[in-house]
Amino acid sequence: MRIVRAIGIGILLWVLIFAEISIFQIGLQLTRLFAQVVHYILLIPIGILGAWMYYKSGDEVNGFLLGIFVLITGIILDALITVPVFLEGNYADFYADPFLWVGFLVLVVVFGTYDLARQK
C-alpha cells in the first residue's frame, strides 16, 4: 500500500464528505433522516472517486483494507478537527451515533467492491 497516497485520498474524501454534510445538513437544513439518506447515496460516488484515484496508480492492495485505512484517516481528522471545532468536543455522542457507523461501513464496502469489480 502506498501510505502517503492512501492518506491523501483519505484527506480528500474527508473534505468532500465534510462539504457534502455541511451543504445538506447545515446549509439546506434537511431533516436528519433525509440528510442521512442523501449522505449514504452520495457516499457511493465519493468512495468510487477515491478508489479510482488510488487504483489508477496500479497498486494492488486489497480494497477492503484500503477502505479501512482511508476510514481511519477520516476518523483521525474528525477527532482532530470536526469534533473539537464544530461539535465542542463531544466525542462520545459523535462516535456513538449509529448513522456514523453505517457511513463507515458503506465507505469500506464501496472501496472493497470497487477493487473486486476492477479485478474482473
* Pairwise CA distance, residues 113 & 43, whole Å: 13
Average pLDDT of the segment spanning 47-66: 95
Instruction: Give 32 or 8, the one with higher predicted confidence.
Output: 8
Task: Evaluate if residue 120 carries a pLDDT over 90.
Answer: no
pLDDT of residue 89: 67
**Cα 33 to Cα 19: distance, rounded to the nearest angstrom:** 18
Q: What is the pLDDT of residue 33?
A: 87
In angstroms and rounded to an integer, the radius of gyration of the C-alpha atoms of the chain is 14
Q: How far apart are CA 49 and CA 37, in angstroms?
A: 19
81: confidence class by pLDDT, cuts 50, 70, 90 = very high
The residue-averaged pLDDT of 12-27 equals 91
| Grid cell of 6 as nine digits | 492512501
Domain interval for residue 35 = 3-119
* pLDDT, average across residues 87-116: 92
pLDDT at 102: 95
Q: How many domains does the chain have?
A: 1
Amino acid letter at 86? F
